Structure formats: C-alpha cells, structure tokens
Structure 1
Amino acid sequence: MAPAPPPPPSISSLYRVVSPALRWGGSGRGWTTFAYSTSYAHNPSCKASPARPGDTEDVCGRPLGLQFNIRTGDLYIADAYHGLLKVGPAGGEAKVVAAKADGGAFTFVNGVDIDQSTGDVYFTDSSTSYTRRHNTDIMTNRDASGRLMKYDARGKRVIVLKDALPYPNGVAVSTDRTHVVVAHTGPCQLFRFFIKGPRAGTYELTISGVTQKEATGLRLTGRRSMERR
C-alpha cells in the first residue's frame, strides 16, 4: 500500500527558501524536503550536499521567494534561474508556470506575492542582464533592466507591469489590494505600483533612504502596516 500523502500545508508551518524548498516539522522531525525543481530531482550533483556550491545553482535552481495561495494551497516559488514555479499542497516536484515575458527568458526572478482574492501572482525579475550569482554587478554598473510582472492565474499568461527598474527585489500586495509595494535593493527605496482605481498603472516612490538589508524584501502585516525584512 502506498504511503499516505503529507497533509496540506498550514499557516503555522515554517518554510525555508533553499534548494530544495524545506518545511519545518518541529523539533522531532526538523527540516524535510517539501518541494523541488525538475532539474534538482534528476541531477545527482544537485543532491550531493545540502550546502551545494554556488556554481551549480544555475542548474539546480535557487528559490528566493515563497508564497501560498491560501484558497488552493498551492505554493508559488520564485526561482532565480528557473522562473515562477508552482507545487500543490502535498509538495513534490514543482512545475514551471512562467519562464519568460515578452519573448525573453527571465534572468533573475526574485520576490513574489499573491493577490489572495484573484489568485494573480506578482513577482520581480531583478535584472535582464545579470544572474543572481552576479547580483553585485547590478549595483556596480547601475543596471536598470529589472521588471515587475503579474502572472494572470486565469489566463495563464505573464504581463510586464513596469520595466527599466533598478534592482527590484521583494514585493507585497497591499491589504486593500489597490497597489503592490516593490523594494529596490540598489537605490534602497520602496515604490508602489497601483493596480486598480484612478491611479492604476502609476509607479511612485513611497520610502527612500532605507538600508540595503531593509530593501531586500518586505511584507504587509495584518494591521495594514508595512514591515521591512
């Protein structure tokens, strides 16, 4: 008899952004594999060590962002090299749902968040010129080729919302779902892109002068306040 599948993920579970994606099962179980990419599953070098050398991440993948669709239990994974991936509530092999936009392949997929009402996924491609391994070159060369994108869950297509961005990193959908906040690591600023209402399509500066650590990622708390992380 085949073993029963693991239970669907719960809000109380803790997930870790490494390759593969791990789930914390408490002090008794520790970290266990929850999701992995196709290349990780079929390439022996990817599973040789949990502390895999960085020079194999372009093959094995490097997940940088995780976000659950609360209604479906699907986990969306922003993988720096493989694009936007999705795995079901039971975990297992994650499938690529988007790997390019406007005819060009993603180079450095980074942050991800979900509009829990529509299921649409917002994510960033930090640069179209430099990969994650060469992320410091983005700042050194003042690269501004990053993009903010939306994965239309119903239409299963990617829409570029804003391009020519300097190192867009973390993203967070506002609790009233009127805009998406984007953290820019290079200039150390937070912007917001309005997705509905009279200002839809507007991209404006919200906070300037944050540290590089603060501008790496962010999330919105249940109290409608912004928490930098």
Structure 2
Amino acid sequence: MLSSIAMVLTLSAISVIFFLCSPTVAILLGRLTLPSPLVGPESIEFDRNEGGPYVGVSDGRILKFGAPNEGFKEYAFTSPNRNKTICDGLADFSEVQARCGRPLGLRFNHVTDELYVADAYSGLIKIGPNGGAPTQLFNGIQPQQGNDNTTIQFLDGLDIDINTGIVYFTQASANYRFKDIQTLESSRDQSGTLFSLDPRTNETRVLMRGLAWASGVAVSRDGSFVLVSEYLANRIQRFWVRGPRANSSELFVQLTVRPNNIRINPRGEFWVAVNGVLGPNPPPRPAILPGALRISENGIVLQIVPLVRELGDEEISEVHEHNRVLYAGSLHASYLPISTPF
C-alpha cells in the first residue's frame, strides 16, 4: 500500500497530466468595473444575504457592488489612521500606502456578519456588520533580521472555519513588504507563516513557518485541515487541525504553476487561482497564464479553467464560485470579470 506522502505525490502527478490535457473554456458573462482610478480587486466575498461582491482595492477601502446602476460603493476601510484626502484614489505600490492600508484576503463570518480582512500593512482586522472603521486584531509585525529597530509585515490570505469561527491567515513574508512584491517574486524567500486566531479567546497561534510566500489559505468543509499555498514553491500544503495527524503538515499537491488564493466551493472542493511558471527553469511548454484549478479534498485536479480571455495578461489572485459562476480577482486589474466554466 502506498504511504500517505507517496499517495499525495502520485495524485500530484495525475493532476499535472490532467492539467496539461483537459482545459475547460470559461464563458465570459461580463465585467464589474471599479471606480477610476482604483485597481486591484485581489479577493472577493459575499455577505450572508448574498449581497456583493465585496472587494478590497488599492486605496485601502473595501467596496461593495450594489445595483447595476450604482456600481461599487464604499463599505469600509482598513487603516485606523486613514486620511481620505491623501488616500482616496491611490494606486498600488505607493509610498503612502502603508498609511492608507491595502486589503488583500476577505472573508465574512456569516454568523456574526463581521468581515475579516488580511491587510498587507494594517494586519488582521475586522469590520462590523454596518461597515465603516476597522478593529485591529493582529498586526503581524516581526523584527527584521539584523535590525531590531525596523519592523515589517505582509499579511496576505485569510479564511474562517464556519463551524468554530477560528480565523486562519498568512503572512506572505517576514522579509519583504507589499510594496516590494516584485522583488519578493524573484527571490527565494522562505519566511512566510500560517497563523490561526480564535476570536473567542483572542489567542493567536503559529501553525507553520518557513513557507515560500504563503499566499492563499482555505479551511476544509469539516474543519479537519487547512490548505496553504506557497506561491514561490509551486505547491499547496495541508495542515491538519484535528484527527490523528493534528498539528502536522504534509504536501497536498505539487504543481507546475504558481498557486495564489484558495477558495472552497459549496461542494467542498477548492478553487485555486494559478499563474504560469515564472521560475528560472520552466518546462519546455507555453505558460498557462492566468487560470483556475478545481481540486478535490484528496488533491486531484478535477477541472482546469484558462482565464486569459477574462484577464488578458493580468495575473490572477483569486477565483470565487458564487451561484455557479466564477469571479476572478487580480492585483492589478481595474475590473472584476465574471464567467461560467460549467
């Protein structure tokens, strides 16, 4: 009988073959355009009444899409020191963005109707049911090696266990900030971290260290494990929360593309946003950029959806399935494409 690790590796090999041979073409339904000059709807969320989508954008605000004739309107912001005069309309990678905030991962707790946000600069925050100002829960600050007077952070992905309310979130890197993302992308950094926060006790735990750009995170349907993607390592790892392997981790799937955010769908499967091979030694085949993988709880790729038509040459950050359609997030696009792969 194959060992657990060998089985995962076998499934990974099958996944790669499936990825190369069986793409599904998505049908573009439309685009939801952000107010100019805002960009970067990196993560997508809906509230418990199916309102939305909600997106975080480049000037530190959370926007909510209303009626088609209304478009996106301000719902909340993520920096406690945000100045509207300075920040409104800000583009990404600005020097003042640390003051304005940069929301990345978004998830609602559908029991409390609070919106949790992993902000690249402001840390883990939550927004009350009526939007508005943030409450900071965790600032993610770690001292930079060799300089105790400098602190840096870069929170990225986030998910919530619907059964317990525990929040799982990632710090992409302890050595680079969000404004240095292009440098991080070409590095061999392995300083990412997976955390958990229990809102009932305010206890924060470090679950995994040494991750190569810890980007996306997703909780399984039964809450027994958490997936975390390593963007620079082309892989997804599984951390066991409960059961006989609790507090241990293993390889979930090895890919030939770079995985970003992970979202669970209503059937307990995972949508992974992926971008083409960007490493120094890519295989001798065209890069698949951008796209989405639908993966089973056992690490088998069930469906591949190229999203070049939807996003062009923009890198994809997240794929959110809602009412059988896909919403595709991006760190640089000025719109949110909607398509169906079914």
Tell me, yes or no, whether TM beats 0.5.
yes
Counterpart for residue 272 of structure 2: 228
Residue in structure 1 matching 2:193, options 144, 147, 154: 147
Residue 162 of structure 2 is aligned to residue 116 of structure 1: yes
Gaps spanning 5+ residues in structure 2: where?
A: 1-46, 145-150, 274-342
Task: Kindly provide the CA deviation profile for residues 116-163 of structure 1, in whole angstroms up to 9, marking residues without a partner as x.
Answer: 111110000011110111123334331111100001111112111111
CA distance in 2, matches of 1:201, 1:134: 32
Answer yes or no: is 1:11 the counterpart of 2:53.
no
Select the residue among 54, 64, 87 that pairs with 1:46. Answer: 87
What is the match of residue 217 of structure 1? 261
Q: Is the 8 A contact 1:113 1:122 kept in 2?
A: yes
Matched with 2:24 is none
**Quick one: distance in 2 between partners of 1:84 and 1:35?**
14
CA distance in 1, matches of 2:96, 2:142: 27
Letter in 2 for 1:38: P
Q: In 2, Cα distance between the equivalents of 1:98 and 1:138?
A: 23
Structure 1 range deviating more: 105-114 or 148-157:
105-114
- Indicate the structure whose relative CO is greater, using CA pairs within 8 Å and at least 6 residues apart: 2
Residue 85 of structure 2 aligns to which amino acid in structure 1? P
What amino acid is the match of 1:17?
Answer: G
SS in 1 for 2:267: coil
* Distance 1:13-1:141 versus aligned 2 partners, 3 A rule: closer
Q: Which runs of 5+ in 1 are unaligned?
A: 1-7
Q: TM-score, normalised by structure 2?
A: 0.60
* Match status 1:79 vs 2:123: no
User: 1:100 offset after TM fit, Å?
Assistant: 3.3
Displacement of 1:9 after TM fit? Answer: 6.1
Q: Secondary structure at the match of 2:233?
A: coil
Count of aligned pairs between the two proteins: 218
**Given the superposition, is the C-alpha separation of residues 132 and 147 from structure 1 closer, same or farther in structure 2, using an over 3 Å criterion?**
same
Normalising by structure 1, what TM-score? Answer: 0.88
Q: CA deviation at 1:51?
A: 3.9
Shift of 1:96: 0.8
CA distance in 1, matches of 2:140, 2:118: 13
In the other structure, the counterpart of 1:129 is 175
SS of the equivalent of 1:216 reads strand
Distance 2:266 2:93 in 1: 38
Give the 3 Å change call, closer, same or farther, for CA 135–103 of structure 1 in structure 2. closer
Give 1:156's match in structure 2, choosing from 198, 202, 208.
202
Distance 2:92 2:194 in 1: 29
Alignment partner for residue 184 of structure 1, among 207, 216, 230? Answer: 230
Q: 1:106, 1:155 → 2: CA distance?
A: 26
**Matching residue of 2:239:** 193
Equivalent-residue separation in structure 1 for 2:152 and 2:125 (angstroms):
12
Partner amino acid, structure 2, of 1:167: W
Q: What is the CA distance between 1:106 and its match in structure 2?
A: 6.0
| Structure 1 CA distance for aligned equivalents of residues 91 and 238 of structure 2 | 36
- Cα distance, 1:46 vs. partner? 0.9
Contact 1:101 1:160 in 2 (8 A): no
Rg comparison, structure with higher value? 2
1:198-221 deviation line (CA, Å, top 9, x unaligned): 101111111112422xx1111111
Does the CA contact (< 8 Å) of 2:140 and 2:155 recur in 1? Answer: no
Question: Hey, what's the Cα distance between the residues in 1 that align with 2:184 and 2:92?
Answer: 24
Q: Does the 8 A contact of 2:93 with 2:179 survive in 1?
A: no
